[in-house]
């Protein structure tokens, strides 16, 4: 349905059902996006999300951040702010500078120029203090294969200088949240890729960090483990933990992130909410649009009414994506004990 037709249809239906016996009908109009992608449902935007943040709200800030490797510029004048409690998706093609940016902000790599502050601390001058307060989930697995899951968590918790009681509680909590309590005393070398990835996340959360960097935490894992990591991230969001999330899986970022920053060739090319990015002047907009109905019966009645009033439309029932189909058919429960 053309965009103008969809708006006309939505207005017509709202007027119609507000004045006749079919009262209670609900529909929402959305313009289609380039490439035939399914339109994104409206997202609730946190209050004042688009207002300039006060200094107290900003937990991460970069100004003119640069990182060079010989004659190659990996990060090129990056200016970025992240607010307390938000999940920022950091996107970009290969070589865009995402991982380099995360390494600088987590004090693992010094910048060539510019400034970076994390939790009010300079990442170069106050690196040790920054590391005490952040968690990092690296793209490469950072667990020891010859140790058990429990031993890995205890080892890394000891590096964070947790006292005995706090460490014991943190280890048990980490095993539980990662879904590894029943495999806690097995060597990690026996684990599947998904189990190792979940343990990788649990290690970063042992000391209850205020800010967590997640660098492609779900790469190469099964849908159940991926879903469990989503639940771990959503749990952190609910607690108000600030998150920086990088991924090549754009659907993950749509699901988990409040705002998105897109890098290309080391430069920030766009940032904002998904809705703001969809309205970016350089983003193509499709000529079609969609009406969303709360019930299929409403849609069928609406199609008949529209047709009778000369408005052309096609009824296309929204269907679950493949991941939703897979999880509904096989369940969300982890399958760590089932041999392949």
E-assigned strand segments in 202-280: 211-215, 242-246, 259-264, 267-272
Please give the backbone phi and psi of residue 316, each rounded to the nearest 5 degrees, phi first: -130, 105
Report d(CA 276, CA 164) in Å as an integer: 47
Which pLDDT tens digit goes with each residue over 99-150? 999 999 999 999 999 999 999 999 999 999 999 999 999 999 999 999 999 9
pLDDT tens figures, 46-101: 333 344 545 458 999 999 999 999 999 999 999 999 999 999 999 988 889 999 99
Q: What is the pTM for the complete model shown?
A: 0.74
Domain over 58-278 is classified CATH 3.30.980.10: no
Q: Count of CB atoms within 10 A of residue 12's CB?
A: 15
Q: By C-alpha distance, which of 204, 237, 224 is closest to 102?
A: 204
Q: What are the residue ranges spanned by the domains of the chain? A: 3-41+285-330, 58-278
Nearest Cα neighbor of 60 from 201, 213, 269 is 213
Determine the Cα–Cα distance for residues 211 and 194; give it in Å rounded to an integer: 23
Contact criterion met (CB below 8 Å) for 334 and 231 = no
Name the one residue in this structure whose structure tokens are 């159940």. 224
């Amino acid at each position: 349905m053309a965009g103008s037709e969809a708006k006309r249809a939505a207005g017509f239906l709202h007027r119609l059902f507000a004045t006749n016996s079919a009262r209670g009908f609900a529909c929402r109009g959305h313009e289609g996006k380039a490439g035939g992608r399914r339109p994104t449902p409206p997202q609730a935007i946190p209050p004042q999300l688009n207002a300039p943040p006060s200094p107290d709200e900003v937990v991460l800030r970069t100004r003119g951040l640069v990182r060079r490797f010989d004659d190659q510029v990996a990060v090129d004048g990056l200016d970025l702010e992240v607010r307390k409690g938000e999940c920022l998706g950091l996107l970009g093609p290969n070589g865009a500078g995402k991982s380099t940016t995360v390494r600088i902000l987590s004090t693992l790599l010094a910048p060539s120029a510019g400034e970076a502050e994390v939790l009010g601390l300079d990442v170069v001058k106050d690196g040790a203090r920054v590391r005490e307060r952040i968690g990092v989930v690296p793209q490469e697995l950072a667990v020891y294969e010859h140790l058990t899951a429990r031993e890995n968590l205890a080892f890394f918790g000891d590096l964070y200088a947790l006292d005995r009681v706090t460490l014991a509680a943190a280890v048990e909590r980490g095993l539980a949240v990662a879904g590894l309590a029943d495999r806690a005393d097995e060597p990690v070398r026996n684990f599947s890729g998904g189990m190792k990835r979940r343990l990788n996340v649990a290690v970063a959360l042992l000391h209850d960090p205020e800010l967590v960097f997640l660098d492609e935490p779900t790469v190469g894992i099964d849908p159940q483990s991926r879903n469990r990591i989503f639940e771990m991230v959503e749990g952190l969001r609910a607690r108000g933990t600030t998150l920086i999330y990088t991924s090549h899986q754009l659907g993950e970022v749509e699901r988990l992130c409040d705002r998105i920053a897109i890098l290309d060739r080391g430069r920030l090319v766009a940032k904002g909410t998904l809705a703001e990015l969809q309205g970016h002047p350089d983003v193509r907009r499709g000529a079609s649009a969609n009406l969303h109905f709360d019930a299929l019966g409403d849609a069928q009645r609406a199609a008949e009414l529209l047709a009778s009033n000369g408005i052309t439309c096609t009824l296309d029932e929204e269907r679950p994506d493949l991941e939703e189909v897979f999880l509904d058919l096989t369940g969300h429960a982890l399958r760590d004990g089932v041999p392949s």
